Amino acid sequence: MDYAAALLAKLPGTSPRRSKDLRRLIETLESYIQDDQIEQVTKAYEFGALAHAGQTRMSGEPYISHPVAVAQSLAEMRLDPQTIVAAILHDVVEDTDIPVSILKEEFGEEVAALVDGVSKLDQMHFTNRAEAQAESFRKMMLAMIEDIRVILVKLADRLHNMSTLDAMPREKQARIARETLEIYAPIANRLGINHLKVALEDLGFRYLYPFRYAVLKRALKRSKGSQRQIVKKISERIQTAMEEENFFGEVHGREKHLYSIYKKMAEKKRLLSDVVDVYGFRIVVDDVNTCYRLLGIVHGLYKPMPGRFKDYIAIPRINGYQSLHTTLFGPKGLPLEVQIRTKDMDTVAEAGVAAHWQYKAIDKTTAGPQRRARDWLSHLDEIQQTGTSEEFLESVKVDLFPDKIYVFTPKGDILPLPKGATVVDFAYAVHTDVGNRCVSAKVDRTLVPLRTTLENSQTVEIVTARGAKPNPNWVTFVTTAKARTAIQKYMRNMRSSESVDLGKRLLDRSLKDLGSSLRKVGKVRLREALDELDLVEPTNLYSQLGLGERLAPLTARLLIGIPDDADDETTTANLVIAGTEGMVVSYGKCCYPIPGDDVMGYLSSGRGVVVHRNTCGNMINFRKQPEKWLAVSWEEGIDRDFSSEIQVETVNKTGVLAEVAAVIAASESNIEEVSVINRHQDVSSMTFLLQVKNRVHLARIMRNVKNMKNAHRVSRDN
pLDDT tens-digit map of 398-437: 555 546 677 888 887 778 787 788 999 999 989 888 998 8
- Residues 244-260: tens digit of each pLDDT: 888 888 898 876 778 88
Q: Is the pLDDT of residue 306 over 80?
A: yes
Percent of residues, the chain, with pLDDT higher than 90: 12
- The neighbour count for residue 549, using CB atoms within 10 Å, is 15
- pLDDT class for 355, splitting at 50, 70, 90? low
Residue 513 among the catalytic residues: no
Answer with the residue of higher pLDDT: 325 or 563: 325
Distances (CA, A) of 284 to 242, 246, 339, 358: 12, 14, 8, 24
For 672-689, b/e burial (b = at least 16 CB within 10 A) is eeeeeeeeeeeebbbebb
CATH architecture of 642-716: 2-Layer Sandwich (3.30)
At 682-691, the pLDDT tens digits run 788 888 899 9
Angle (CA) 477 483 488, round 5°: 90
**Cβ partners under 8 Å of residue 159, min gap 6:** 70, 73, 196, 199, 200, 203
Fold of 221-354: Beta Polymerase; domain 2 (3.30.460)
Please determine, for residue 205, whether its predicted confidence score (pLDDT) is greater than 90: yes
Residue bearing the bigger pLDDT, 514 or 107: 107
Backbone torsion region of residue 561, taken as left when φ is above 0, otherwise alpha when ψ lies between -120 and 50, otherwise beta? left
Q: Quick one: average pLDDT of 580-601?
A: 75
Q: Pick 133 or 69 by higher pLDDT.
A: 69
Q: What is the model's pLDDT at position 141?
A: 63
CATH of 3-211, one of 3.40.50.720, 3.40.920.10, 3.30.2130.10, 1.10.3210.10: 1.10.3210.10
Contacts of 302 (CB under 8 A, 6+ apart): 328, 329, 330, 336
285 band by pLDDT with thresholds 50, 70 and 90: very high
Residue 334's pLDDT is 76
Is residue 252 helix, strand or coil?
strand
Q: Is the pLDDT of residue 349 over 80?
A: no
Biggest distance spanned by C-alpha atoms of the chain:
111
Average pLDDT over residues 512-522: 83
Q: What pLDDT does 373 receive?
A: 58
pLDDT band of residue 572 (cuts 50, 70, 90) is very low
Cα(206)–Cα(172) distance, integer angstroms = 13
Q: How confident is the model at residue 284 (pLDDT cuts 50, 70, 90)?
A: very high
- What's the whole-number mean pLDDT along residues 634-658? 84
What is the per-residue pLDDT for 124? 43
Q: Is the per-residue pLDDT at 582 higher than 60?
A: no
Q: Domain locations in the chain?
A: 3-211, 221-354, 491-560, 568-634, 642-716
Average pLDDT over residues 296-317: 87
pLDDT at 492 over 80: no
* Catalytic pick among 2, 30, 76, 95: 95
Tell me the C-alpha distance between 272 and 220, whole Å: 9
- For residue 362, pLDDT beyond 50: no
pLDDT digits (tens, 9 = 90+) for 458-482: 889 999 988 888 887 787 788 887 8
Question: What pLDDT was estimated at residue 379?
Answer: 55
Determine how many CB atoms are found less than 10 A away from the CB of residue 270: 13
Provide the percentage of residues in the chain whose pLDDT is more than 70.
Answer: 75
- pLDDT reported for residue 339: 92
Question: Residues 6 or more apart from 531 whose CB is under 8 A from it?
Answer: none
Contact present, 343 and 355 (Cβ < 8 Å): no
pLDDT at 424: 93
pLDDT tier at 204, thresholds 50, 70, 90: very high
| CA–CA distance, 586 with 569 (Å, rounded to integer) | 11
Catalytic residue among 94, 344, 528, 627: 94
Separation of alpha carbons 650 and 713, rounded Å: 7
In whole angstroms, how far apart are CA 333 and each of 279, 307, 309, 508? 12, 17, 17, 79
pLDDT at 143 over 70: no
- Cβ atoms of 645 and 717 within 8 Å: the answer is yes
Among this protein's residues, is 350 annotated catalytic? Answer: no
